[in-house]
A and B are shown apart, each in its own frame.
Chain A
């Protein structure tokens, strides 16, 4: 790799980290429209987990950009638990694939719930973001996110993306 291309990769890596963290902040604030603005038109979002009980992989949510946009648009019509979620994320690995114009990114995430009444915080879920980030046009955008949950006992569940 030339010095120039190495520098480009370094810039991409930093931009990718910033994208992941910025998205966390947007999701923490329920700014779903702004979150989706960081996604490519062919974005795909899934939440999945392995069940040791039935010894099968499970997909709990699976939507393209239109699907997830619609779910967020319909939220005001539903009764949803409003307990805020806060993400603590650490980008573990970034595997850059210049030939694809993409990077595969693995981020560890702990999601905390803070009660509206009294503000007690508890760990709500642990998992990892397995992301594919497009870097083709110089601006990193999320093309694929699989939220791989370790935690499967999620209480009453949630209407929001993680």
Chain B
């Protein structure tokens, strides 16, 4: 039956771990804390190594903690990352999202840096600074960088953070053969800027109950008994793996079985891992989709989508992977549009009536269990030092 205002505000008859206060998706104070306590501390993906294949290639990255970064492959082949800001007057050094340049020169006053981040030239240095300031002390701010897990370029702003391997742990073990057997190559990139909170997108990637939204998945997956056997496996640091499945693509009229696959992946196989706090590895059939989110505000998010195949692909194989990828995951694909429609709707509704957001389904960790979200918010609570349900420290009023 429909509820009165008093009934509507009642806490759900579930453990407090099974629902959250919607203000965690909209409160500016929560967002500021997330930038400081989560994004500034963890490892996140900046790009893929195939985006900077050659010496002196660079790629810019807007870090979710609010820093503009520059990823560069040096002449020694090593990938390094720096703040994309000139130490002189704070100008953006590199403007284009990607390119190649032996020297990184600020257009403002022509301070120049090499690909190791050393300042190699301050124009009229002696005349202006004498012995008071020396270019050797004015290199770029380097950010810790590691390349791995399928050639992703990972960065952390925290010089004291543990190594990447420690952060990922065993979360990607079930996918490593796909990722590490041979080099991967990017073929797709696009951004979706959506008026929603970044966690809504991760929530969507962390539960499969929403497959009811996808006609494609209902036809190709949910009708198979193996779908219901998929199981969530939580890992330390908030990561979670979704159990594997083989998909029946031909059940969607006009679609075809995938001809190509990945090393270690059965034909039409599907593997998925959600990494805290803003990343999902998703391999279906012939392509890997990598999602990364960068929140612009509590209610506006950039979601970056990358599609990857194998470096050794023939042109025909690459074309096939691209067609497969876009059939469900491109900007005009069957599934991605629906997922984005869902989180846009959540963003539209947040703060406009909802009292609690439920994460409460329990099905022995099987595919419609919402343990993936609960596991995420356990880590979120640990890092934030506040409960996702306890709202006393939030600055906005409950709607």
Contacts and interface: CB of A to CB of B under 8 A. Distances in A.
A74 B97 CA distance: 37
Contact of B254 (A47, A70, A153): A70
Contact of A74 (B215, B323, B340, B341): B215
B344 A158 contact: no
Contacts, number: 104
Interface of A: 47, 51-56, 58-62, 66-67, 70-71, 73-74, 77-81, 152-159, 161
Interface in B311-366: 319, 322-323, 326, 330-334, 336-338, 340-341, 344
A58 B254 contact: no
Contacts of A60: 188, 190, 326, 330-332
A81 B334 CA distance: 12
Interface in B282-331: 306, 319, 322-323, 326, 330-331
Contacts of B96: 52
A91 B213 CA distance: 39
A153 B189 CA distance: 10
Given A59-B322, A71-B254, A159 B332 contact: yes
Contact of A66 (B98, B252, B254, B322): B254
B191 interface: yes
Given A155-B194, A156-B192, A55 B341 contact: no
A152 B98 contact: no
Interface string B35-66: 00000000000000011000000010000000
Given A60-B332, A67-B254, A155 B215 contact: no
Given A55-B98, A59-B322, A78-B334, A156 B186 contact: no
6 smallest A-B Cβ distances: which pairs? A70-B254, A156-B340, A157-B331, A77-B215, A157-B337, A53-B97
A157 B194 contact: no
Interface of B: 50-51, 59, 96-98, 186-194, 213, 215-216, 252-254, 306, 319, 322-323, 326, 330-334, 336-338, 340-341, 344
Contacts of A66: 254
15 contacts: A52-B96, A53-B59, A61-B332, A62-B322, A74-B334, A78-B216, A80-B338, A153-B190, A153-B193, A154-B190, A156-B192, A157-B192, A157-B332, A157-B337, A159-B334
Contacts of A156: 192, 194, 337, 340-341, 344
B188 A58 contact: yes
A81 B253 contact: no
Nearest to A74: B253
Nearest to A161: B332
A60 B336 CA distance: 12
A53 B51 contact: yes
Nearest to A80: B337
A54 B344 contact: no
A159 B339 CA distance: 12
A107 B213 CA distance: 36
B331 to A, nearest CB: 4
Nearest to A79: B338
B288 to A, nearest CB: 14
Contacts of A62: 319, 322-323, 326
Q: Which among B59, B215, B319 has the highest number of chain A CB atoms within 10 Å?
A: B215
B192 A155 contact: yes
